[in-house]
């Protein structure tokens, strides 16, 4: 009987070891699958963000080009009305905005981010000032492009 008990204990120990090995193997498989899934999701998210930013970058470049054309038109009208000095400034501003728009359209999102980071490291105060101005302009733009208030609620 003692031998049977010893044999049962040995069999039980072997079964436990086999179960531990299976559990470790399954856990390792689950971790690897989780890492693969996480990597895939991260890559997908990066691709989506990059695509969205690229589209927005092109949209901003197009708006800048339209703004440059409007400034150029205003400069032409100023020239026609006898103010060539102010017209020259408008022409220079339009040319600068057109150049910036073209450069923005040509650059990849990663390069824009790298350039911005480099600028922020070189001139942190100027970068923060530009960020504040950009935030104020964006807030003003968002406020002005919001839904118009009705005259009944405007008088309250």
Query: What mean pLDDT do residues 77-85 have?
Result: 86
pLDDT at 11: 80
Give the per-residue pLDDT at 72: 92
Whole-angstrom distance, CA of residue 27 vs CA of residue 18: 14
The region, left, alpha or beta by phi > 0 then psi within -120 to 50, assigned to residue 76 is alpha
3-state secondary structure of 112: helix
| Cα→Cα distances 18→5, 28, 75, 118, Å | 20, 15, 84, 57
**Predicted local confidence at residue 2, as pLDDT:** 67
Is residue 148's pLDDT more than 90? no
Considering the chain, what percentage of its residues have pLDDT values greater than 70? 91
Region 103-108: what's the mean pLDDT? 89
Q: What is the mean pLDDT of residues 93-97?
A: 92
**Average pLDDT over every residue of 16-22:** 88
CA separation for the pair 96, 100 (Å, rounded) = 6
Helix extents (H) in the chain: 2-80, 84-106, 109-122, 124-144, 151-154
Each residue's pLDDT tens digit, 45-65: 888 888 888 888 888 899 989
State yes or no: pLDDT of 31 exceeds 70: yes
- Those residues with Cβ within 8 angstroms of residue 102's Cβ, 6 or more apart along the chain or in another chain: 61, 65
Residue 98 confidence (pLDDT): 93
pTM, two decimal places: 0.56
């Amino acid at each position: 009987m003692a031998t049977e008990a010893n044999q049962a204990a040995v069999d039980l120990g072997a079964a436990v070891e086999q179960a531990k090995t299976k559990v470790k193997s399954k856990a390792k498989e689950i971790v690897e699958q989780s890492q693969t899934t996480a990597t895939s999701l991260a890559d997908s998210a990066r691709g989506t963000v990059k695509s969205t930013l690229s589209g927005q970058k092109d949209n901003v470049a197009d708006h800048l080009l339209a703004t440059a054309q409007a400034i150029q038109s205003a400069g032409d009208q100023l020239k026609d009305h006898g103010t060539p000095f102010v017209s020259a400034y408008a022409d220079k501003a339009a040319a600068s905005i057109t150049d910036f728009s073209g450069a923005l359209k040509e650059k990849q999102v990663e390069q824009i981010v790298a350039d911005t980071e480099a600028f922020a490291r070189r001139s942190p105060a100027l970068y923060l000032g530009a960020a504040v101005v950009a935030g104020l302009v964006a807030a003003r733009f968002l406020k002005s492009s919001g839904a118009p208030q009705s005259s009944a609620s405007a008088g309250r």
